[in-house]
Structure 1
Amino acid sequence: MNFPAQQPASAIGQATAIEMSRAEAEVKAAVFIAQQSPRNIQVAQQEMRFTCAQYAVAEKAFFSYPKAGQTISGPSIHLAREIALIWGNIQHGTMELSRDTALGQSEILAYAWDLQRNSRSSQIFIAPHVRDTKSGKKSLTDLRDVYENNANLGARRLREAIFAMLPDWYVAEAIEICQKTLDKGNGQSLEERVVEAVANYGRVGVTVKQLETKLGRPRGEWDEADASKLQIIFQSVSHGEMTRDEAFPPDHITAAEIHQQRQQKAPAKTADGDAPQPEVAEPPTS
């Protein structure tokens, strides 16, 4: 009995196969050049240490976002790109292979390739054109929204692909140095960092009370670790990794507080039980 030829999976189209073949041919051609100019590990390590000691790098080195009632944090795509550049002989990136507006999804490739060792980490994934909101999933139709959504999802896969190509000891040391740099601050005292953090959050509508709730202690007891945590969260909100309301749920007033506020605003009653009438000023005499 003859069976019909198996059709290729719709998730990976012809354009994807052509693009993968072209990209692979280009990288294979670059492998020879990379092997002729191998990286100097000692030099790369020294440059990494210097770079991670810079506050401008350390403040973007970590991410934080809520998931299933917990806070997920770790080294960011910014740190991955920075230390991959220093390590050398690595190509990485993301590429939108196809977009289906009818199905509301894009096909994206995220990859990292160590040309010197000829080792590659890549992933093709489907990015739905949707965004999670408090009222459920929202379909994205605006081109800018779709682009930002794809870039955000692609950056997460790219981060893992880059770290898969870098030695564990190299990444671990970079993370440790960045954390120490972040804890020290940018030459500011702890009080100055706290004032700056409160001001930054105030501009996006986050109150001191919300910050204190997040850290679990009053402002006067914040330490360097707390200031670093606030900096990481602020960067994550600025980069769109989580929204302000996800990081700091709005304050909810209780029924008792509403009743108390009404009592404070209500005029006091007189002995006969009636509220006093407002005084009317007499007209000035001429």
Structure 2
Amino acid sequence: MNFPAQMPAAQGPDRLGQQTAVEQSRAVAEVQAAIYVARQFPRDVGRSRAAMQAACGSMALAERAFYRFPRAGGAVEGSTIHLAKTLAQTWGNIQYGVSEMRRDDDYRQSEMQAWAWDVEANTRHVLSFIVPHAKFANKQVQQLVDLRDIYENNANNGARRLREAIFAVIPDFFIDEAEELCRETLNKGDGKPLEQRVEGAVKVFEQLGITADRLEQKLGRPRAQWAGADIAQLLITHKSIQRREIAVDEAFPQARITGAEITSKKNGGRKQQGPPDDDPWAGEPSH
């Protein structure tokens, strides 16, 4: 049997184009300049903490600092990409980014990469991952066809990986302090009395079709007993709904009506004490 001769491997051009060479030189120069500037102007931890404390003391950041959604009978909560970017800016000498490396329409997936680089400490964290062109909705996987849907899906997945990359190059004490300050800001509110904040939260959720009864069911207590922490939890959930991280019905599931409640309503709210007098089999044991 005659085997075909091995084909020579495809080779690239023997020379680089002028534009390619310019881009390579520019990239190298940017890296060298970033390292030089970082060493010439190292971060001041005290100044970085002061900038972080000022940012976390504002409601504008605190309201966007956390996400919350239910999962497996519990709740998943964490810090958002908005807080991560703010901490990267206040900590200083950090570069970060996310990009789509390759899109494969045949397999309906995108290869992406998120990275963060502490230029001063020369610490770099890179995450490469695959994003399927699909989403999970209504308890089933739905393929994405529209280009805008694919872009938004890639952006959402990229933001989550970018958040983890940024947090990987920032000290834990800096992140923990920022999260605690943001929670304190949410608990204190924007200077309004608690009663006004409660009414404001109820009105905001009414615009989403969520009644005060469902809010009380979510928190497990009537609104007359709500505290600042309860308002903070509702704000986090509201922002998650606005960012389309969770659906309204998932965040505030409808209460199930039991058979006893239905029977009680039919009887006018009175509990039946015994069998009716006209039932000949009343009180007889069942077999």
- Which residue in 1 is equivalent to 2:163? 159
Paired with 2:31 and 2:224, the residues of 1 have a C-alpha distance of 55
Paired with 1:261 and 1:144, the residues of 2 have a C-alpha distance of 49
TM superposition shift of 1:190: 1.1
Paired with 1:254 and 1:215, the residues of 2 have a C-alpha distance of 21
TM superposition shift of 1:134: 2.1
Unmatched 5+ stretches in structure 2:
1-5, 7-19, 269-287
TM superposition shift of 1:24: 7.5
- Which residue in 2 is equivalent to 1:131? 135
Paired with 1:230 and 1:239, the residues of 2 have a C-alpha distance of 14
- Which residue in 1 is equivalent to 2:280? none
1:238 aligns with 2:266: no
Unmatched 5+ stretches in structure 1:
5-17, 265-286
Paired with 1:221 and 1:124, the residues of 2 have a C-alpha distance of 47
Residue of structure 2 aligned with 1:65, choices 69, 82, 105: 69
TM superposition shift of 1:58: 1.0
- Which residue in 1 is equivalent to 2:43? 39
How many residue pairs match? The answer is 247
3-state DSSP class of the match of 1:237? helix
TM superposition shift of 1:48: 1.0
1:112 aligns with 2:116: yes
Matched letter for residue 78 of structure 2:
G
1:177 aligns with 2:178: no
Matched letter for residue 224 of structure 1:
G
Paired with 1:121 and 1:73, the residues of 2 have a C-alpha distance of 23
- Which residue in 1 is equivalent to 2:221? 217
CA offsets per residue over residues 20-56 of structure 1, 9 Å max, x none?
Answer: x969744455222222221111111111111111111
1:75 aligns with 2:57: no
TM superposition shift of 1:259: 6.4
CA offsets per residue over residues 84-136 of structure 1, 9 Å max, x none?
Answer: 11111111121111111221111111111011111101101001111111231
Paired with 2:225 and 2:252, the residues of 1 have a C-alpha distance of 19
- Which residue in 2 is equivalent to 1:199? 203
Paired with 2:145 and 2:186, the residues of 1 have a C-alpha distance of 39
Paired with 1:261 and 1:146, the residues of 2 have a C-alpha distance of 49
- Which residue in 1 is equivalent to 2:58? 54
TM superposition shift of 1:263: 7.7
Paired with 1:260 and 1:224, the residues of 2 have a C-alpha distance of 36
After TM superposition, list the pairs within 5 Å mapping 1:17-32 onto structure 2. Answer: 25=28, 26-32=30-36
3-state DSSP class of the match of 2:244? coil
CA offsets per residue over residues 185-227 of structure 1, 9 Å max, x none?
Answer: 0111111111111111111111222211211112211111111
Paired with 1:137 and 1:263, the residues of 2 have a C-alpha distance of 44
Q: Identity of paired residues, percent?
A: 46
Matched letter for residue 232 of structure 2:
S
- Which residue in 2 is equivalent to 1:267? none
- Which residue in 2 is equivalent to 1:150? 154
TM superposition shift of 1:246: 1.6
Q: TM-score, normalised by structure 1?
A: 0.79
3-state DSSP class of the match of 1:94? strand
3-state DSSP class of the match of 2:254? coil
Paired with 1:24 and 1:196, the residues of 2 have a C-alpha distance of 51
Matched letter for residue 167 of structure 2:
F
